[in-house]
Amino acid sequence: MKILLLGLLCCLGSGVWTAEQKPARKKIVLIAGKKSHGPVGNGIHDYGWSVRLLRIMLENSNIKEQVAVEVHLDGWPKNPKTLETADTILIVSDGRDGDRYEEAPHLASEERVRFMERQIKRGCGFLTFHFSTFAPEKYARQMLDWSGGYFQWETNGKRQWFSAIQTREAEVKLGSPDHPLSRGLKPFRMREEFYYNL
């Protein structure tokens, strides 16, 4: 979660203002996919829990006066127009894995892909987290342009990955501990599922 928060803060950018000026709050939209992989409470693929925790962390952070956080549970917002004023959109959900599951919310239809393309072109930040990085090859260009990478699961058959997954436990050390975004963070141990060959 610390890495997710750090990534989200990086997307917000920074601004300079005087004491008389108060900048507009940055609108962060967090989209959680439906719970999968077992019962509620097991902590696995509980995307609603993840975005609610992230909202609490942001609303109680030292930037709470600079952000307005909006949460949408169980997939795509009922009124997608809310995304047209977002400064950053984060999606944490399942994605399609060959013949299993379904596309992540932003890739569920050509219409949504075009809609997201417009948001990115106007300058909206965009992040996918965990399984929502899975994307079919037909959206390779968009995913590379929007977020710099994607989990490529598609080859010549069902569920044949080019990208790969490995679960590891390691100590996380900050590359730039003196950077303002790292202020107050200390190295920590973490067990995580890493995606590579993106």
- As a whole number, the mean pLDDT across the chain is 82
Question: Residue holding tokens 């917000």?
Answer: 12
Average the pLDDT over 144-153 and give the result: 84
Quick one: pLDDT at residue 121? 97
Exposed/middle/buried for residue 166 (C-beta within 10 Å: 0-12, 13-18, 19+): exposed
- Report d(CA 68, CA 80) in Å as an integer: 17
pLDDT at 44 over 90: no
Per-residue confidence (pLDDT) for residue 81, from 0 to 100: 97
100 vs 73, residue with greater confidence:
73
Model pLDDT, residue 14: 47
Among the residue ranges 8-22, 140-154, 158-172, the one predicted with the least confidence is: 8-22
> Mean of the pLDDT values across residues 33-57?
81
67: pLDDT confidence band, cut at 50, 70 and 90? Answer: very high
State pLDDT tens for residues 83-119: 999 999 999 987 776 566 778 899 999 999 999 999 9
| pLDDT reported for residue 83 | 98
3-class state of residue 143 by DSSP: helix
Q: Which two tokens stand for residue 35?
A: 């719970």
- Give domain limits for the chain: 24-156, 163-198
Query: pTM of the prediction?
Result: 0.74
More confidently predicted of 10 and 56: 56
Does position 37 have pLDDT exceeding 90, yes or no? no
Percent of the chain having pLDDT more than 70?
Answer: 76
24-156: CATH topology is Rossmann fold (3.40.50)
Cβ neighbours of residue 116 under 8 Å, at least 6 residues apart? 83, 89, 106, 126, 142, 146
Q: Provide, rounded to the nearest whole percent, the portion of the chain with pLDDT above 90.
A: 39
Q: Which of 27, 21, 15 is nearest to 119 (CA)?
A: 27
Ranking 14-28, 87-101, 180-194 by mean pLDDT, the lowest is 14-28
Q: Identify the residue whose tokens are 């299993």.
A: 100
